[in-house]
Structure 1
Amino acid sequence: MLTLLAPHARAQDADTQVALARQSLPTVEITGNYANAVGTSDAASQGTVTAKLLESRPTLRPAEVLEFVPGVIVTQHSGDGKANQYFLRGFNLDHGTDFATCVDGMPVNMPTHAHGHGYSDLNWLIPELVNRISYKKGPYFADEGDFASAGAAHIDLFDQLPRGVGSVTLGQNGYRRALLANSSAMASGQLLYAVEAAHNDGPWDSPEKFHRFNGVLRYATRTDDSRAAFTAMAYNAGWNSTDQIPLRAVQSGLVGRFGNLDPTDGGQTSRYSLSYALQRTLTDGRFSVDAYVIRSTLDLFSNFTFFSENPVDGDQFEQAERRRVMGLTSSRAWDHSLAGHDSTTTVGLQLRHDRLDPVGLYSTVARRRTATTQESRVRQTSLGLYAENSTQWTPWLRSIAGLRADRFSFRVDSSIAQNSGSQGAGIASPKLSLVFGPWDKTELFINYGHGFHSNDARGTTATVTAKPPHDPVDRVNALVRSRGGELGLRTEIIPGLQSSLALWQLTLGSELLFVGDAGETEPNRASKRYGIEWNNHYAARPWLFFDADLSLSHARFTQADPAGDQIPGAIRTVASFGVTVADRGPWSGQFQLRYFGPRPLIEDGSQNSKATTLAYLRAGYRVSKDVKVALDVFNLFDKQASDIDYYYGSRLKGEAADVDDIHFHPVEPRSVRLTVSMNF
């Protein structure tokens, strides 16, 4: 069930308003996988994924819940404990960069990260606890700051599970998973707990031996006009990884498609968090606050170039960090009259402080440190303030105008003295949206806004390269502006069908691109992207749902360079089609097909990846009221394709010099998993 708010009441905290207004506002039943009805958003590309889809659709890895956001692709180029690779709107987002992700008020993107700026690890997410995913695309929303130029996703967890669940999953390649989760009344609230343990060897010639342990404990209270929750989370994982390998190594027979060239690659990671959330409905509006403390660690061992730098011992390196994050987000919305029209004004504050003690890059041999390339202690603080007004001027015209101001400060103490220092930067981001309609269950949108992404703090103070001979380098800008616009349409003129169309454009002052020999993202030239998205969600019957999405993008550098103007990894085409069958007697099922189109791998476009088409299938059977069996098949048609492709130089054992080549990480072959779950 989704609560529909009057248009003037929708501002930044739409999700909070929905949750708090259930007791006082009329409700309508929304059936299907998406709650994207006319009158529920400020842009055609904004929407909500319901728990119905989350429950019915299988995921190979936890972060694949983001693929429920139309146009998003989630892949992997290393072990399952490492953050996934993300693609959206002509971006290879690497591990996060320009796509902001948030879970229950806590940011997922990690700035100035050991492996890549904006690193978004979601392996600690338990999909069964996800209540819904609210998504936005483009820099049109005043409450979205760093990393949100391409889009943002807010993942909300349950306060109270519909029923307790215990499940065991067994699959090929040593896959095992156990989950126990429940919620029960305690005092005046609900106590929710969940524990998860999983192991997977994968199809790799060198078993991945991935293992993770996960725990969630939440106490939530709710009254007619407020909701509060305390949440504790704990996660620990370790793995061996098979990273991308050069095509020539497979073609020569040196390794198979699932082989590796450095069997000691892998990592360990952990994450612990405490958070508090409060939302309250007031007589004249709403108030919300989220506060959190996060502690995370990472030790990641990779070898992307093999024997380029060290022909004897190999090029393995370690990226490690110890991080603490403290943050606070708060907003206050006032419902009032503006020139005789219903209006809502919202002001908000977002404060975040990251402490890295330390973050470093090290040379290693078989996970043993042999030298320190650079080790830094970093203090990074960001403060965002925003204001937004939403006014219903006529029954068919609504405006949303906002202004955001952000200030960042960095302090870096590096093992390389020339790279130590302090920097600060600020940026202002105006936003404006107009919503026309609805007419005949159809509405039109015009959206425009400025946004930004930050750069790695170490780049803002560095004056020499981290690797010898420490050549001089220019400091990078701390904040990079983005500008975007969108024309959109959403309609429900056909009964049962929610359809939206968006024409969008986005420019960036500087790209963040993956650098293979460092395993990091670095600033690059300015760029421009534009494209079209068409999303369709159809409830054909109360038990039968169809989802079909198409996204086409064009991406180019806008600054001339002899190397070319194409952006490596820029995705051009994404298409997906899904069919969900719900509760046909004891049976249920879901089929999902997604197409991930070719991408240029270097600037001149002479090297391109191939397309990847994958299908997932779930068949479920309810044995009794409390017992259900589900059979999941991944890569149903057993396609041989790539999860990711790069093009760069590397050197194999015995080669006299670096060879430019495609380096790929294969999709996993067809695999089957069987889950038995019991509700209580």
Structure 2
Amino acid sequence: MHKIIILPILLCFAAPCYAQSAAGTIVDQSSHLPLGGVTVEAGEARQTVTTRDDGRFAFKHLPAGVQKITFHMAGYRTRTLPVAEVAGMADTVFLSSQATQLADVLVSANRINPYKTISENDIRMRSISNAQEVLRMVPGLFIGQHQGGGKAEQIFLRGFDNDHGTDINMSVDGMPINMVSHAHGQGYADSHFIIPETIEHTTYEKGMYNPEKGDLAVTGFVNFHTANAIPQSLVRAEAGQYNTYRVLGMVDLLGEKTKEKGQSWYAASEYRYSNSYFDNPQHFKRFNFFTKYYGRLNARNYLSATASTMYSQWKASGQIPESAVAEGIIGFYGAIDPNEGGVTARTSLNATLTTSLSDNDLLKNQLYYSHYTFDLHSNFTFFLEDTVHGDEIRQRESRDLMGYNGSYAHESHLGNSHLRSELGINLRWDGTLGSALTHTVNKFTEIRPVKLGNISELGAGAYVSETLSLTNRLTINAGLRYDHFNYRYDNKLATDSTLQGVGRYKANNQVVSPKIKVSYQLSDKAQLYWFAGRGFHSNDARAVVAANGLPTLPTAIGSDIGTVLKPTKNLLLHAAVWYSRLQQEYVYGGDGGTVEFSGPTRRLGMDFSARYQPLRALYLDVDVNYAHGRATKDPKGANYIPLAPVWSSTGGIVYNKGTGLNGSLRYRWLGDRPANENYSLKAAGYFVNDLVVNYTKRRYEVGVTVNNLFNVKWKETQFETETRLQHQQPVDGIAFTAGTKFFATAHITYFFH
């Protein structure tokens, strides 16, 4: 490892023999804020670099024959300048926004993230109506809601049932969304505190190959980036079926004059209410507030600071047995226990200082804090265990989450090879009070406590990442990550079945995760890549301290081989085959308070994406995904992975002229999949369409959104569950939550400065 760290230092002394240089800072012409992620191409040499978060780029040693520099970024007009002019522009290059065009997309081996070109275009072309729609931006990612909107979604990706976030790492502006050692499930990721209109773009990768990402990043990671500035203020009102209402306001707090100084500050707030489409009204309500300051403190420092708060309350229809619907006991949209539902809240502070050092180095320091509360009432089995009072449970916790992310990046050259070295540190502490699982009746009347205690969990990670562009066509990224976890559980319950009495229990574990990425550019129309690496997900602290020294930090091994193609200027293709293997693990079951064993698994799959823009205003997209997964230690025929997705696809047509009539028609299809290990029960697939139609002018917009356009009956989430209705015999079968009916909402938006 010492050799890896010393390598970039040694390369700094290499003596290059190139004749000229070009450097600068790229900023948005409207907001005057720096643009990160811009691809900068050195004309005839076909060399490319990507701007950092502070908008800086540099070519220190260009061949003498290079005469022009070109700037590419989705949603911005491509700009080409002479090298001499770039060198003499007082370090500033302005880019003006325009309608996103696939013709501007550049295929480059310098882009070590092959999903970047797709993600940039998708979020700018497709309308976003809620935070769930942003999650669906990840090709192949499916979500399912089984409490009607208040609870975190169940997430499916790459043949994994990620539950609520066990094997996918999620963050917003670098602040974690996932909650480790959560009262309901490991990695619980409730993103409903994000106002969707504040999201400017997403960064995501599939697989376990990014050294910056540690815990939970097995199927991939998603980082939401909120806008540093808003183009204009707005007020929006929505109303729809099932007593659904939403109001939204976004206000620029500084105005136009401060933009030239590189300052931005805005606030956004929303309130939503809905009874939803279930027979049992949900009385769902959510309030969100968010504010962000982004500004240049001086020539070298930029500060980003956000604050947010969310409160949500709802009743739920929960999961109902297929057998009860078949017998006519309840309807397809009915409920067994009307007491299901919950209350949750999250208040967060997040600040990042980005500092440009000499020699084109970049230092980032981030601090974040969240206070979070959660109180959930569920009933999955009804009267199976307690035939008198029922099986209702209550899960609750109060949590403080705080952490630090720091990174130092250095760029240097060895001849015509460009090297980017990065060192990073991640620290995170979670402390929960009164984390509890209780058997209840009528929501708050306690019958029997199952779990009660306080959790303290500290995670510390460090990584080194080296990205070397050996030639204009070949880029290699090698990374090494180390993570260490300390767990403490203060058990308050003498009757806890997994521990030996009241007291303090401690444990720790650690893991080393190597990663490698190789990207090769065949031509300006084709890029090939190969990724390999190790990832992991941590287990709940209550499972770790109860495991008595057994391995509780299971690793995952994976590899991808893929290509990015642009055969014509308006067609972009992405295809990959992938493989992953997981070790055995011990899992804490939040709904039962038990520690369960799960054996090793292996998955093999294929991803395909296509984006086509035949006209400037017309955008077509399709994603098709396949995954074959099996438990490796179980006999054939009894080795299916329950609820693991097999075939899935999403796609749509978007018509967007900017003003006037715009709209989109989309579909999502999830194929049938096994609901248990021997596939004797099937989780039925579905095909659902959504429609958006808007009429947009400079000062206002009116529109209609329709979910489930053709009003099909579909099951959004499904589980094999043994249930018993009151005064009946137990039934082992599918329990499900019904997907939305035809659901139309209308909105009107007023824009102002």
TM interval, shorter chain, is over 0.9
SS of equivalent residue, structure 2 residue 197: helix
SS of equivalent residue, structure 1 residue 459: helix
| Structure 2 CA distance for partners of 1:29 and 1:341, relative to 1, 3 Å | closer
Q: Which moved more, 1:624-633 or 1:670-679?
A: 624-633
Kept in 1, the 8 Å contact 2:351–2:366? The answer is yes
Q: Which moved more, 1:101-110 or 1:224-233?
A: 224-233
The yes-or-no answer on 1:49 pairing with 2:119 is yes
RCO higher in structure (CA 8 A, sep ≥6): 1
Kept in 1, the 8 Å contact 2:437–2:593? The answer is no
Kept in 2, the 8 Å contact 1:3–1:18? The answer is no
The yes-or-no answer on 1:545 pairing with 2:619 is yes
The residue that corresponds to 1:469 in the other structure is none
Distance 2:379 2:39 in 1: 51
The yes-or-no answer on 1:630 pairing with 2:703 is yes
Distance 1:581 1:384 in 2: 45
The yes-or-no answer on 1:316 pairing with 2:392 is yes
The residue that corresponds to 1:211 in the other structure is 285
The yes-or-no answer on 1:432 pairing with 2:509 is no
Q: TM-score under structure 1 normalisation?
A: 0.93
SS of equivalent residue, structure 2 residue 726: coil
The residue that corresponds to 1:669 in the other structure is 741
Distance 1:521 1:87 in 2: 23
The residue that corresponds to 2:254 in the other structure is 185
Kept in 2, the 8 Å contact 1:379–1:410? The answer is yes
The residue that corresponds to 1:331 in the other structure is 407
The residue that corresponds to 1:98 in the other structure is 167
Distance 1:388 1:215 in 2: 36
The residue that corresponds to 1:389 in the other structure is 466
The yes-or-no answer on 1:460 pairing with 2:544 is yes
Distance 2:569 2:325 in 1: 52
Letter in 2 for 1:626: R
Gaps of 5+ in 2: 1-27, 29-36, 60-68, 76-99
Q: Deviations over 1:224-264 (max 9, x none)?
A: 65431111100001000111100011011111011111001
Kept in 2, the 8 Å contact 1:21–1:225? The answer is no
Distance 2:629 2:375 in 1: 34
Letter in 1 for 2:214: G
Distance 2:575 2:593 in 1: 37
Kept in 2, the 8 Å contact 1:488–1:502? The answer is yes
SS of equivalent residue, structure 1 residue 413: strand
Q: Deviations over 1:478-515 (max 9, x none)?
A: 31101100101011122211211111001111368896
Q: Which residue of 108, 122, 138 corresponds with 1:69?
A: 138
Aligned pairs for 1:218-367 (under 5 A) are 218-222=292-296, 226-282=301-357, 283-338=359-414, 341-367=417-443
Q: 1:574 Cα shift?
A: 1.2
Q: 1:645 Cα shift?
A: 0.9
The residue that corresponds to 1:3 in the other structure is 38
Distance 2:625 2:147 in 1: 26
Q: 1:599 Cα shift?
A: 1.4
Distance 1:514 1:257 in 2: 32
The residue that corresponds to 1:491 in the other structure is 565
Q: Deviations over 1:94-114 (max 9, x none)?
A: 111111111011101111000
- The count of aligned residue pairs is 663
The residue that corresponds to 1:153 in the other structure is 222
Kept in 1, the 8 Å contact 2:253–2:267? The answer is no
The yes-or-no answer on 1:374 pairing with 2:451 is yes
Distance 1:604 1:561 in 2: 10
Letter in 2 for 1:228: L
SS of equivalent residue, structure 1 residue 655: coil
Distance 1:52 1:530 in 2: 26
Kept in 2, the 8 Å contact 1:44–1:501? The answer is no
The residue that corresponds to 2:274 in the other structure is 200
Letter in 2 for 1:391: L
The yes-or-no answer on 1:411 pairing with 2:484 is no
Distance 1:488 1:398 in 2: 15
Q: 1:397 Cα shift?
A: 1.4
SS of equivalent residue, structure 2 residue 537: strand
Distance 1:250 1:561 in 2: 34
Distance 2:563 2:582 in 1: 25
| Structure 2 CA distance for partners of 1:291 and 1:105, relative to 1, 3 Å | same
Kept in 2, the 8 Å contact 1:38–1:442? The answer is yes
The residue that corresponds to 1:578 in the other structure is 652
The yes-or-no answer on 1:131 pairing with 2:200 is yes
Q: TM-score under structure 2 normalisation?
A: 0.84
Kept in 2, the 8 Å contact 1:33–1:52? The answer is no
Kept in 2, the 8 Å contact 1:124–1:235? The answer is yes
Letter in 1 for 2:195: I
Distance 2:512 2:388 in 1: 51
Kept in 2, the 8 Å contact 1:117–1:521? The answer is no
Q: Deviations over 1:260-311 (max 9, x none)?
A: 1100110000000011012233333222122100000000000000001111
Q: Which moved more, 1:76-85 or 1:276-285?
A: 276-285
Letter in 2 for 1:84: E
SS of equivalent residue, structure 2 residue 178: coil
| Structure 2 CA distance for partners of 1:604 and 1:46, relative to 1, 3 Å | farther
Kept in 2, the 8 Å contact 1:619–1:632? The answer is yes
| Structure 2 CA distance for partners of 1:26 and 1:302, relative to 1, 3 Å | same
The residue that corresponds to 1:468 in the other structure is none
Kept in 1, the 8 Å contact 2:373–2:398? The answer is yes
| Structure 2 CA distance for partners of 1:170 and 1:316, relative to 1, 3 Å | same
Q: 1:573 Cα shift?
A: 1.0
Distance 2:574 2:126 in 1: 23
| Structure 2 CA distance for partners of 1:167 and 1:459, relative to 1, 3 Å | same
The residue that corresponds to 1:527 in the other structure is 601
SS of equivalent residue, structure 2 residue 184: coil
Identical counterparts, % of pairs: 29
The residue that corresponds to 2:63 in the other structure is none
Distance 1:37 1:453 in 2: 35
Q: Which residue of 665, 670, 690 corresponds with 1:616?
A: 690
The residue that corresponds to 2:713 in the other structure is 640
Distance 1:3 1:84 in 2: 33
The yes-or-no answer on 1:443 pairing with 2:527 is yes
Q: Which moved more, 1:414-423 or 1:583-592?
A: 414-423
SS of equivalent residue, structure 2 residue 52: helix
SS of equivalent residue, structure 1 residue 636: coil
Gaps of 5+ in 1: 464-473
Kept in 2, the 8 Å contact 1:459–1:475? The answer is no
The residue that corresponds to 1:467 in the other structure is none
| Structure 2 CA distance for partners of 1:578 and 1:209, relative to 1, 3 Å | same
Kept in 2, the 8 Å contact 1:569–1:601? The answer is yes
Kept in 2, the 8 Å contact 1:141–1:431? The answer is yes
Distance 1:237 1:138 in 2: 32
The residue that corresponds to 2:724 in the other structure is 651
Distance 1:485 1:333 in 2: 26
Kept in 1, the 8 Å contact 2:516–2:531? The answer is yes
Distance 1:337 1:585 in 2: 46
The residue that corresponds to 2:732 in the other structure is 660
Q: Which residue of 225, 235, 243 corresponds with 1:174?
A: 243
Q: Which residue of 28, 32, 37 corresponds with 2:72?
A: 28
The yes-or-no answer on 1:17 pairing with 2:35 is no
Letter in 2 for 1:607: L
Kept in 2, the 8 Å contact 1:552–1:572? The answer is yes
Q: Deviations over 1:46-91 (max 9, x none)?
A: 55634873674254x5223110111111110113110011111001
Distance 1:497 1:21 in 2: 30
Q: 1:44 Cα shift?
A: 3.5
Q: 1:585 Cα shift?
A: 5.1
